[in-house]
Amino acid sequence: MKNLKIFAIVTLSVFVGFFSAISIAENSLLKTKSQPVSNKKYSADFLNEIVNKVKNEYVEEKTDSQLIEAAASGILSSLDPHSSFLNEEDLKEMNVHTKGEFGGIGIEISSEMSVTKVVSAIEDTPAFKAGINSGDYIIRVDDVSTQGLRIDEVVKKIRGKPNTSVKLTIYRKGETAPIEKTILRKIIKINPVKSNLFKDVAYIKINSFSEKTTDAVIKEFANIQKKLDKTVSLRGLVLDLRNNPGGLLDQSAEVADLFLPKGAKIVSIKGRDKTKIIEFIDDKPETLLPNLPIAVLINEGSASASEIVAGALQDNKRAIIMGSKSFGKGSVQSLIPLQDNSSAIKITTSLYYTPSGRSIQASGIEPDIELEIATIEKQKQNLPKDSEADLKGHIEVEINQNINKTSKNQDKKLLDSNLEIYQKDYQLGRAIDLIRGVSLSKAIFSGS
């Protein structure tokens, strides 16, 4: 493993299909169309023959380098949507991407049936602000069809100079007509981690798993502790992995390590040889939130490395998973340098499995509590409310009146605060309430 850099990244290449029109009169090979398929085994010489034929007969002149690179791309992209050939330019782009800073609009894309599909629009990026959603299909870029284009070709069309615009034509399920979005390109600097404190509940949002993610989580949690009122005890954490398209596998393992006890299994990797299993085991005690409840938010934009974290915490019964089913990318790609390191192949070498042995490839992580996106509003009620206090001759107790008055004020403040969260982010509001509920029930049943 020392010589291979392992990725859990979704934005990779895709098989390209094509159609050709050939005159039947000019091509006698079509006469054998209905004959049984030959079992002939091809050799490397056969590939060389094809390259030479294209070089000599194709309508436009192609260099040896162009043809060889195209052949390499064709071989790898025919394997699966995540294997690809990377030339020198592609390698530079990948290095920039994994360091958490790159140009464009801030989306991760994949392929589904040769169509470009949005895995997620990363939070606070131009694509996110323009309303690009997970599950959208990009059918045109600047009025050029994406049908038949490799993922890297689509990426190059979307990216461009900062402060220039790109027009995306989107097909979205449930819409009767395509949607057009014109988005201004920016230098994308992904802040891998954000945090907040909702009175007694910590909130950490991980946007991607880049080289800086684990350190950023530790730093943000320290900031949360500084903000915490000395009279308030932290009840737990909401870990938000929604629209997190993945990133580096080792970072996802290190993040899971922060919340799991020593000796816990995080993820296992199995390649072609099923007897050889690589396991990631937590090698140190839980450092951030020992004994406090955790809720993890996921959605269809949570992929790859974020699914590793969610699966690890779910199988180790360390967190309650909430939201909607994740993307379902359970394959691992290895980056293998070629020749003078000016090019490389990214190839699927294994599948990863959650601690209980589940492969989430194409099936995703199922939440423990399914939550749809919704809104909640406070309704005004003008009807009179009857209570004991309305009855003639009721007994009045001074101390209870004071307690009730204080309690009502506190309840109103908490309700107003929760309502604001629910209006902005219903799923987050539910997760915060869950943490408070779990914490309260533990306190009640433990007698503390």
Number of domains, the chain: 2
The answer to the question of residue 441 being in a domain is yes
pLDDT, greater one: 259 or 26: 259
- Residue 380's pLDDT is 60
CATH assignment at residue 314? 3.90.226.10
pLDDT, greater one: 192 or 190: 192
Asked if 236 and 302 sit in the same domain, the reply is yes
Catalytic residue among 84, 304, 324, 334: 304
User: What pLDDT digit, counting tens, does each position of 332-366 carry?
Assistant: 888 899 987 889 999 999 999 999 999 999 889 99
Please tell me the distance from the alpha carbon of residue 445 to that of residue 440, in angstroms, as a whole number: 9
Asked if 178 and 309 sit in the same domain, the reply is no
The answer to the question of residue 18 being in a domain is no
Domain that holds residue 113: 101-189
* pLDDT band of 417, cuts 50, 70, 90: low
pLDDT, greater one: 191 or 113: 191
The answer to the question of residue 421 being in a domain is yes
The answer to the question of residue 150 being in a domain is yes
Catalytic residue among 329, 334, 346, 439: 329
Q: Which stretch, 21-25, 34-38, 54-58, has highest mean pLDDT?
A: 54-58
Asked if 167 and 205 sit in the same domain, the reply is no
Domain end, chosen from 165, 189, 213, is at 189
The answer to the question of residue 43 being in a domain is no
The answer to the question of residue 59 being in a domain is no
Say whether pLDDT at 243 is over 90: yes
Say whether pLDDT at 24 is over 60: no
CATH assignment at residue 178? 2.30.42.10
For residue 120, give the nearest of 396, 394, 267, 324 by alpha carbon: 324
Sign, CA torsion 209/210/211/213:
negative
Region 22-45 average pLDDT: 54
Say whether pLDDT at 251 is over 90: yes
User: Is 45 in the active site?
Assistant: no
Average pLDDT value over all residues in the chain: 84
User: Is 315 in the active site?
Assistant: yes
Catalytic residue among 120, 315, 326, 334: 315
Asked if 124 and 170 sit in the same domain, the reply is yes
For residue 81, give the nearest of 121, 109, 122 by alpha carbon: 109
Interior angle at CA 255, CA 358 and CA 316, nearest 5: 40
Asked if 169 and 234 sit in the same domain, the reply is no
Please tell me the distance from the alpha carbon of residue 374 to that of residue 299, in angstroms, as a whole number: 14
Contact, 210 vs 186, CB < 8 A? no
The answer to the question of residue 90 being in a domain is no
The one-character DSSP state at 228 is S
User: Is 120 in the active site?
Assistant: no
Domain end, chosen from 151, 174, 189, is at 189
pTM of structure? 0.79
Asked if 180 and 234 sit in the same domain, the reply is no
Contact, 120 vs 303, CB < 8 A? yes
Asked if 229 and 352 sit in the same domain, the reply is yes
* pLDDT band of 300, cuts 50, 70, 90: very high
Please tell me the distance from the alpha carbon of residue 11 to that of residue 109, in angstroms, as a whole number: 5
Domain end, chosen from 137, 156, 189, is at 189
Torsion of CA 359, 118, 259, 196, to 10 degrees: -160
The answer to the question of residue 71 being in a domain is no
Asked if 222 and 331 sit in the same domain, the reply is yes
Asked if 246 and 295 sit in the same domain, the reply is yes
Say whether pLDDT at 216 is over 70: yes
Asked if 279 and 131 sit in the same domain, the reply is no
Residues 272-308 as b/e (b if ≥16 CB within 10 A, e otherwise) read: eeeeeeeebebeeebebbeebbbbbbbbbbbbbbbbb
* Token pair belonging to 67: 């043809």
Asked if 444 and 299 sit in the same domain, the reply is yes
Asked if 258 and 161 sit in the same domain, the reply is no
Say whether pLDDT at 382 is over 70: no
Say whether pLDDT at 324 is over 60: yes
